[in-house]
Amino acid sequence: MSSSNVRVRFAPSPTGALHIGGVRTALYNYLYARKMGGKMLLRIEDTDQTRFVPGAEEYIKKSLNWIGITIDEGPDNPGDCGPYRQSERKPMYREYAQRLIDEGNAYYAFDTEDELNAMRDRLKAAKVASPQYNAITRATMKNSLTLPEDEVKARLAAGDPYVIRLKVPRKEEVRLNDLVRGWVMVHSSAIDDKVLMKSDGMPTYHLANVVDDHLMRITHVIRGEEWLPSAPLHVLLYKFLGWESTMPQFAHLPLLLKPDGEGKLSKRDADLQGFPVFPLEWKDPASGDISKGFREEGYLSEALLNFLAFLGWNPGNNEEIFSMDQLIEAFSIERIGKSGTKFDIAKAKWYNQHYLRLKPTSDLVAYLEADLKKNGVTTKIDLARIVDLLKERIVFPADLYTECQFFFGRPTVYDQKVIETKWTSEAVTVIEAFAAALAALPATPDGPAAKALFQQVLDDKQVKMGKVMQALRVALTGNGAGPDLMEIISILGKDEAVGRLQQAVSVLQVS
RNA sequence: GGUCCGUUCGUCUAGGGGUUAGGACGCGUCCCUUUCACGGACGAAACACGGGUUCGAUUCCCGUACGGACUACCA
């Protein structure tokens, strides 16, 4: 694919763990960049010093890396638009804020928090629909538009705290053509005089975002729908800064909703439903609380990737198994949906099961080995045989360990229901004979050989297989269900199998 | 409250002026099978409502309802 001038960015705030919705946003940006042969940027939006969380930036990078998203330009691999952390770009914002002031599109405001609250209360009391700092109310407030020029100068010189606000025009239609939603029109009276520079000298999201997107030559802003209401404000900023002709195109993504009921997916809902919202485990540095991630819960990155890509997008045909490369090939902004998407963890599990079965046995052996080690289980059994036996029936790698418990110890309890119905004298007769036949063998048989031997015993005793199989299974594993029994016998080894059969016969009462 | 956005099976969605409204997950039944799972087959299951426009609307338009986002010196 030929390279293009397409440049997109993922611009998270390092305020904690990266939410799964953020991962999807990053993914769509990435898919578009790769599809178009463009560039994917990572920009850290750390302008809120009060919410900065140490370790969050690192966590974001690790998460993107896990899911397979690579960054072309970012804090760790800067291009020619650095720095890529907003806190390191402070002077730039200052410069453009000043320009806005100089050209009459922004102004200083000195109002205290109390004064702002008083204004809002007053408007509320007067039954004003939306109390805001705007073209009308700004005339009643303490700002460089209402205060005498020398007082403004004096306040600035004295270091009085102030913010810089955008001077939003009173009557103006602001339009934008969203790639997902089409034309969106907002009247400027619905936009308030947003703070551009905070009193701590940091820019707010709106200013920093527009300035950076321009300076970083971003061509497409792909972000969550929660930004749609403020998009007209951003359009206004591009206009005031004279950047209209190179303004990026916008694509506002549908939100990820909670699985039941309505509303944005939150950590709380996910906890309630028993699934993670973070890609990787996250330890809150302040509280020390640990939240499990999809990775730790056993989700494979390729499964989560495939699942996430389909939350709000589809290729337009009936195919739904896609690798990253296939997603890149198939992706288009036009096929992104408009409506919010409920997070259906059952589908994620289905993807997981699918991808797990595609894993090479050796990978799964490694999982199982680790789990065994963690639980202090040692065994001489060839784990690859267990994995091959169990592979088709698990959803998570950890299921391997839980499903194969019976290999590592004789049953201490037997499935009561099966005993009641299947542990007949006939079954016992067959099992005893089978145990004897097994014991007489020179070596452990493989699965088919064990089956042939068992069939021989059945023929001898004139019993049908279905009548005793369940009993045999319980005797061997304690369970009423599980993978191929003859293969289990083969893996267990003939001595162990015989031992288990004898134990069951002596312990269990015929009912 | 205001502004904006949205609404096809339970869920993710395809489709689009005339279709038996398609697929997937989940669910159910059956088949396969030594059980369970896998696999296979089949099945139940949807165009929010009301008005237009039209020969015809699930599809286009307008309302209503419902849902969501936003409404901070947070992003």
Which sign does the torsion angle of CA A349, A351, A354, A355 carry? negative
pLDDT at A261: 67
Pick the CATH number of A90-209 from 3.90.800.10, 3.40.190.10, 3.20.20.70, 3.55.50.30: 3.90.800.10
Nucleotide nearest to A392 (CA to C1'): B38
Structural domain spans, chain A: 1-73+254-358, 90-209, 359-404, 410-511
Sequence-distant (6+) residues with CB within 8 A of A437 are: A453, A456, A457
Nucleotide nearest to A486 (CA to C1'): B34
Q: How far apart are the first and last CA of chain A?
A: 72
The DSSP bridge pattern shows strands A341-342 and A256-257 to be parallel
- In chain A, which residues have pLDDT < 70? 1-3, 261, 511
Nucleotides of B under 7 A from a protein CB: 1-8, 10-15, 22-26, 34-38, 67-75
DSSP state of A19: P
CATH numeric code, A410-511: 1.10.10.350
Tell me the longest C-alpha to C-alpha distance in chain A: 112
Sequence-distant (6+) residues with CB within 8 A of A400 are: A364, A367, A368, A371, A386, A387, A390, A394
- Which of A's residues 35-94 have CB atoms within 7 A of nucleic strand B? 45, 47-48, 51
Which 3 state secondary structure label does DSSP give A310? coil
| Interatomic CA–C1' length for residue A294 and nucleotide B73, angstroms | 36
DSSP state of A258: P
The DSSP bridge pattern shows strands A249-253 and A220-224 to be parallel
| Overall CATH class of domain A1-73+254-358 | alpha beta
Could you read off the pLDDT of A222-255 as tens digits, one per residue? 999 999 999 999 999 999 999 999 999 999 999 9
**Cα(A457)–Cα(A442) distance, integer angstroms:** 17
Q: Is the CB of A181 under 7 A from strand B?
A: yes
Active-site annotation holder among A62, A90, A267, A292: A267
Q: Which CATH architecture best describes the domain A359-404?
A: Orthogonal Bundle (1.10)
| Interatomic CA–C1' length for residue A481 and nucleotide B31, angstroms | 20
* Nearest-CA residue relative to C1' of B23: A318
pLDDT at A268: 86
Nucleotide nearest to A394 (CA to C1'): B37
Q: Is the CB of A319 under 7 A from strand B?
A: no
Q: Is the CB of A340 under 7 A from strand B?
A: yes
Q: Is the CB of A202 under 7 A from strand B?
A: yes
A267 noted as active-site residue: yes
**Cα(A316)–Cα(A439) distance, integer angstroms:** 60
pLDDT at A189: 86
Classify residue A298 as left (phi > 0), alpha (psi -120 to 50) or beta: left
**Cα(A297)–Cα(A306) distance, integer angstroms:** 17
| Interatomic CA–C1' length for residue A43 and nucleotide B34, angstroms | 59
Q: Is the CB of A163 under 7 A from strand B?
A: yes
Which tokens in the block code for residue A144? 């460089």
